[in-house]
Amino acid sequence: MKPARWACFKRWCAGLAAAVLLPLAAAQAQALAPVAVEVQVSDAAQPAGLSADWEPAVRREDWARNHPGLAGGTAWYRVRFELPPHRAGSGSWALYMPYLYDGARLWLNGEPLAVIAQTNTELHVRWERPHLVTMPESLLRAGRNELLLRAVLTDPGGLQLRRLEIGPIEDLLPVYDRRLFVVRTMPQATVATCLVVGLFVLFVWWRRRAEVLYGLFGLGAVLWSVRTLTFVIEVMPAAWWPWWRAVYHSATGGFVVVLALFAMRFAGVHAPRLARALAIYWAIGPIAMLASGGRLDSQVGLIWTGGMIPIGLSIIGFTTLAWWRQRSASSLALLLAVAAAVLAGIHDYVVAWNGAAYMPALLRDWMGHRIFLLHHAANALLLVMVSILTLRFVQALDNAEDLNRELDSRVAAREIELEKGQAALMRLERERAGADERQRIMQDLHDGLGSQLFVALSRVEQGRAAPGQLAQWLRECIADMRLTFEVVAPEPEPLASVLSNFRFRWATLLQEAGLRSHWHVDLPPGLPEPSPSAVLQMLRIVQEALTNVLKHAAASEVQVRAGVDDGRIVLSIRDDGRGLPPGETPAGARGLGGMRQRATRMGGALTIESTRGATCVTLRIPL
């Protein structure tokens, strides 16, 4: 870049800092500037132990050169300021220090003013908050005033206090409140918010392992919550300090590495070796901290943390690739948020490691306020990331709803088709059932009433009908027809009632034939009723058995029983006749064969037991 353009760029940066950044830290014009700041190295515990040898305090970045190896030593600073006479007694005054990480003890005009806790053998102190110390009017005097500050230094560069301001408390309090909100309140809110959101998103990822972006974001949010604790936890046991710094570096490096993996996944970049290399680099800093017992804290912060800058630049590259491929608003927002976070990280690195000497004058003055920007830029980045994931989640829900609506429409159309098919099947079933019923009735009429009429007609035509026999045949035909009508009526009667009617007709026929009949019907109430066709088949079998008794048995007595045994309806017809002729098996008789066929069609069984002097026909039908 040409010198003229570089100078223009520096002026532009300085103007931006003056317009945007400095109002966050600068006090109003009423604050007094110190007349002189002097320093001496002394282990004295009280001002009385100090020597008269003071030297001007130099810039902080030059302190290590003038006083090498000062870390762990004690330094006294003397600050002189002029209090205007007309302001004496006009109100409360205060000392404002934007940062004083190691703490200190303060005296005003030789009298103790305040004690800000310092690191000792039991506690380690790291104050991130600003300090506002009220200066009692009784200790102030018009004209020259002297403020003494005693600090035990843990930084080899000297006291980390680039500026202090003295003025009316009503002028300094707003500045103090603004900085306290930025460096203390906002990190507290960040810790709680990132922890809750991170754990929630990790739970979502745990239930949906394929959503890797959710897992990476959740892990990054939790790590950032842990890292931000450095602005919240300011005092801890000294023995814990190395471990806490290892946790801090692990959380910081882990956040950067997880962010890089997120950007790679978001851009569709698959690089397992690079991911493993990032994980290994992540582990180097915390391991070095623990292995050294915390002695390498400065080296890890300077060298290892500096190595995170190239990783941050690579994240910008990945998000740029994602935007180039997707050309979406979300990818552009992620790119801008990542760029802002990386620039904020570089800014914080320069502030933490004294790179202000290479900055323009106004930026150098801004960096003297030591306001770290990364945890604010990272919050904005996490907000952009969670917004992207939320949009993806909402889009997934919308897609699922669209799919459900499409499936519902398809299911509704298929239900209509199934209903039409079911209606057609039911219509065909009714037609088939009607055809079967007609066929059965036709067969029953043919086998029963039709055969009897045919036999009667043949005998009449052949002149073999005895007087009165034709009337008997016709009565039998009418009884058979009535039996059929009763069984297949639109409102069929229970089996017990049908058997009662059947008994009424056949008891008369048996009596006229000279046979005594005994009927025993024991059907329990609530018995599942057989279908009308089954009832008709059962009665046909009983009718055929009784007809055989009348024609062939030469019996004097017949017993008819109906009951239930072992889940089956049992009908039995027993006579005391001569039994079946010798050599004729039950299966061979044509009438008995028809009875067996009827029983088989009902899923039942027919057994015939015949001995000399008795025959028993038993029908068993499952309920």
pLDDT confidence of residue 473: 67
pLDDT (mean) for 513-518? 85
Q: Place 587 in a pLDDT band, splitting at 50, 70 and 90.
A: very low
Q: Place 468 in a pLDDT band, splitting at 50, 70 and 90.
A: low
pLDDT confidence of residue 603: 85
Kindly report the average pLDDT of the chain as a whole number: 81
Give the separation between CA 214 and CA 574, rounded to whole angstroms: 85
Burial of 475 (0-12, 13-18, 19+ CB in 10 A): middle
pLDDT (mean) for 350-362? 65
Q: Place 21 in a pLDDT band, splitting at 50, 70 and 90.
A: very low
Give the count of beta carbons closer than 10 Å to the beta carbon of residue 189. Answer: 12
Q: Which residues, including other chains, have CB under 8 Å from residue 264's CB and lie 6 or more apart?
A: 270, 271, 274, 275, 318
pLDDT (mean) for 603-615? 84
Strands annotated E in 199-280: 235-237
Between these two residues, 411 and 439, which has the higher pLDDT value? 411
Query: Is the pLDDT at 358 greater than 80, yes or no?
Result: no
Query: Is the pLDDT at 474 greater than 90, yes or no?
Result: no
| pLDDT 10s digits, 240-250 | 988 999 999 99
Q: Place 310 in a pLDDT band, splitting at 50, 70 and 90.
A: very high
Q: Which residues, including other chains, have CB under 8 Å from residue 115's CB and lie 6 or more apart?
A: 105, 106
| pLDDT 10s digits, 453-462 | 655 666 676 6
| pLDDT 10s digits, 420-466 | 888 888 888 888 877 766 666 666 665 566 656 655 666 676 666 66
pLDDT confidence of residue 68: 45
pLDDT confidence of residue 17: 43
Q: Place 64 in a pLDDT band, splitting at 50, 70 and 90.
A: very low
Give the separation between CA 37 and CA 78, rounded to whole angstroms: 6
pLDDT confidence of residue 75: 83
pLDDT (mean) for 543-563? 85
Q: What is the DSSP letter of 201?
A: H
pLDDT confidence of residue 565: 85
pLDDT confidence of residue 147: 92
CA atoms within 13 A on the CB side of 59: 9
